[in-house]
Structures are given as structure tokens and as C-alpha cells.
Amino acid sequence: MHIVIAICALLLAWQRGDWRHIAAYHKTILYVAVATLLYEFITRDYAMWDFQPDRLLPTHTLTDLLYVFISQPCAVLVYLSNYPRQPMQQAIHMLKWIAIFLALEWVELRMGRIRYAHGWDIGWSLLFDCIMFPMIRLHHRKPQWAYPLSVVIVVFFLWKFHVPLP
């Protein structure tokens, strides 16, 4: 399942991504990767969710790296490079991506490819997606605002889920 998502993300990025202007999206792609890796580091012994390995990706680490370095960068590229100019279209675009991520997670949950713990559930994932996509856009447009706001969001989730710091 994880490899299928990565292949679909690559195909979508190849078809719909603005590769000519990849440099314009590079910093935000790194922002998402660093945030994901930071989550993995902070919650390594207390994960809210984690991807379950399968036969083709036999370890949790390989599965996470596939998402960090393939699926997520492709998604960010397509999300940002197709971001509309009109406010109503922007809201629809954002809601579409939230729905896609939620649907993919729901399928992964049903197939046993993702596991929740410590009070996390698909409702929290929905809230997270509703925060994540605006933050990706904010980082792309105004990174100086995205970083302090990201710290506040991280502190909230650490507090809410009683995550012990390493």
C-alpha cells in the first residue's frame, strides 16, 4: 500500500507538478520533511500514529523514509504548484487535499497499514490535515510567520497527548 501511494504521488507530480519552478517550492518541501522527521524523533518511543511495514518495506524506518522523501515532496509540489488565485477556489483546493489525505489514511487504517495510539484517531488526523495544508501554504508565502506558529502547534500537540520529550 505504501509503495502504491508513493508511485501514485510520483505519477501525479510528474503529470501535474510545476517542475520548471521547483526551486520556488524547495524550501516548503524541506519544511514538511523536517517537520515529519522531527515528529519521528520526538515520538520515537511514544508515537501517536505510525505506518505499519509490509513485505516490500519491512521496517518502520523504511516506510517513513518513503513518505518523507517521495510521497510528501510530490504532494507538496502538486498542492502548491496548482494553488489557485481566487479565494473560493483556494478553499476548495485546500478541502480537496484534506479529503484526499483523509481518504488515503482511512484506506490505510482499514488495511492495517497505519496504527494509532495514545488517544490519536482519524478525527485527530482530520484536524491535523486541516492545520497542515494551510501551514504549507503559509510557509510557502510567509515562512517567517509559519515557523513561530509551527512551534505553537507542536507545543499544543505535545501537551494534549502528554508526549514525553526524549
β partners of residue 50: 115
| Angle, alpha carbons 116-121-123 (nearest 5°) | 155
* Boundaries of domain holding 85: 2-160
Asked if residue 72 lies in contact with residue 96, where contact means CB atoms within 8 angstroms, the answer is no
Residues in CB range of 85: below 8 A, 6 or more apart:
none
**How far is residue 3's CA from residue 21's CA, in Å, rounded to a whole number?**
26
Q: Digits of tens for pLDDT over the chain (166 positions)?
A: 899 999 999 999 999 999 999 999 999 999 999 999 999 999 999 999 999 988 888 888 999 999 999 999 999 999 999 999 999 999 999 999 999 999 999 999 999 999 999 999 999 999 999 999 999 999 999 999 999 999 999 999 999 999 998 7
The pTM (predicted TM-score) of the whole model is 0.94
Is residue 136 a part of any domain in this protein? yes
Is residue 45 a part of any domain in this protein? yes
Is residue 40 a part of any domain in this protein? yes
Structure confidence at residue 57 (pLDDT): 87
Is residue 156 a part of any domain in this protein? yes
Asked if residue 52 lies in contact with residue 66, where contact means CB atoms within 8 angstroms, the answer is no
Asked if residue 108 lies in contact with residue 143, where contact means CB atoms within 8 angstroms, the answer is no
Is residue 78 a part of any domain in this protein? yes
Structure confidence at residue 53 (pLDDT): 87
In the chain, the number of structural domains is 1
